[in-house]
């Protein structure tokens, strides 16, 4: 029986998919080493379990949820695991979403062609037009090109698509958000929800990022105003207030 590198489960969440009650399943491993990663404990190492253990958790909670969200790490590092979880969830009439950094374009395209995924939450870490900055944040090579291709594939597939940027003042800040918003408009996805997510220093090891690098609620609203120059659906997400749509 197939095993997966398993990172953990949140049995019931109302914040990972707006308007849905979801189980969140975390998979281990990621090709990136972003300095602000909030799931750094899932980047390396292994915890292999039988897929039937995950299926049992879905079955146990299916009466209380609408959807399964697969997160990480980077889920598409384990395409067989994502496919198996998605297939099983759909046998119980559950929707399936994946939170991804967009690096594994070919895998994502294959999954979408098989109608296994209903929604993609795509991390946009830096302006897509700035390959050097993107590689520096991800600590990987050729990232922006892959993310651009993934964005195009997801847009063409007509599935649910939400774009998310985690912000810190000295990593992905004001200029990054302005550049990202312009690049998303140029990519033809101005109508997709764009979430500006407040970075959380308490989830980052070794005090690498300081509290003063965190945007306040009012500062996040100012970022949203900048994004609205190019985009039509901008939201902010904070650790205290959750997600809210910002109107201008």
- The b-or-e profile of 43-63 (16+ CB within 10 A means b, else e) is beeeeeeebeebbeebeebbe
Residue 1 above 60 pLDDT?
no
**pLDDT greater than 70 at residue 135:** yes
Return the closest-CA partner of residue 198 out of 175, 176, 173, 180: 173
What's the pLDDT tens digit per position in 61-77? 999 999 999 999 999 99
Domains of the chain, CATH where assigned: 1-123 (3.20.20.70), 138-248 (no CATH)
Mean pLDDT of 159-173: 94
pLDDT digits 0-9 by tens, 27-47: 999 999 998 888 878 888 889
Strands (DSSP E) found in the chain: 3-13, 22-27, 48-50, 67-71, 95-100, 119-123, 160-167, 194-198, 234-238, 242-245
Report yes or no on whether pTM surpasses 0.85.
yes
Which of 44-48, 73-77, 79-83, 167-171 is predicted least confidently? 44-48
Give the burial string for 134-169 (b: 16+ CB within 10 Å, else e).
bbebbebeebbebbbbbbebbbebeebbbbbbbbbe
How many whole angstroms from its chain centre is CA 97? 10
Q: Is the pLDDT of residue 239 over 80?
A: no
Nearest to 187 by CA among 226, 156, 233, 225: 156
Reported as a pLDDT band with limits 50, 70 and 90, residue 244 is low
């Amino acid at each position: 029986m197939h095993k997966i590198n398993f990172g953990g489960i949140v049995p019931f969440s109302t914040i990972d998919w707006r308007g849905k009650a979801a189980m969140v399943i975390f998979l281990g491993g990621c090709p990136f080493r972003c300095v602000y990663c909030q799931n750094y404990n899932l980047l390396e190492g292994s915890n292999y379990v039988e897929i039937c253990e995950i299926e049992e958790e879905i079955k146990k909670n299916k009466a209380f949820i609408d959807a399964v969200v697969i997160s990480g790490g980077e889920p598409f590092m384990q395409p067989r695991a994502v496919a198996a979880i998605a297939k099983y969830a759909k046998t119980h009439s559950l929707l399936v979403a994946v939170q991804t950094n967009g690096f594994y374009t070919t895998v994502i395209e294959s999954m979408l062609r098989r109608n296994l995924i209903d929604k993609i939450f795509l991390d946009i870490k830096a302006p897509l037009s700035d390959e050097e900055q993107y590689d520096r944040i991800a600590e990987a090579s050729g990232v922006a090109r892959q993310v651009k291709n993934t964005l195009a594939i997801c847009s063409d597939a007509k599935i649910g698509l939400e774009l998310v940027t985690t912000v810190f003042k000295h990593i992905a800040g004001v200029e990054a958000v302005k550049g990202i918003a312009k690049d998303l408009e140029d990519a033809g996805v101005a109508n997709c929800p764009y979430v500006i997510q407040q970075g959380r220093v308490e989830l980052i090891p070794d005090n690498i990022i300081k509290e003063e690098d965190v945007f306040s609620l009012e500062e996040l609203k100012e970022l949203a105003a900048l994004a609205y120059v190019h985009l039509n659906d901008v939201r902010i997400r904070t650790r205290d207030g959750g997600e809210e749509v910002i109107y201008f």
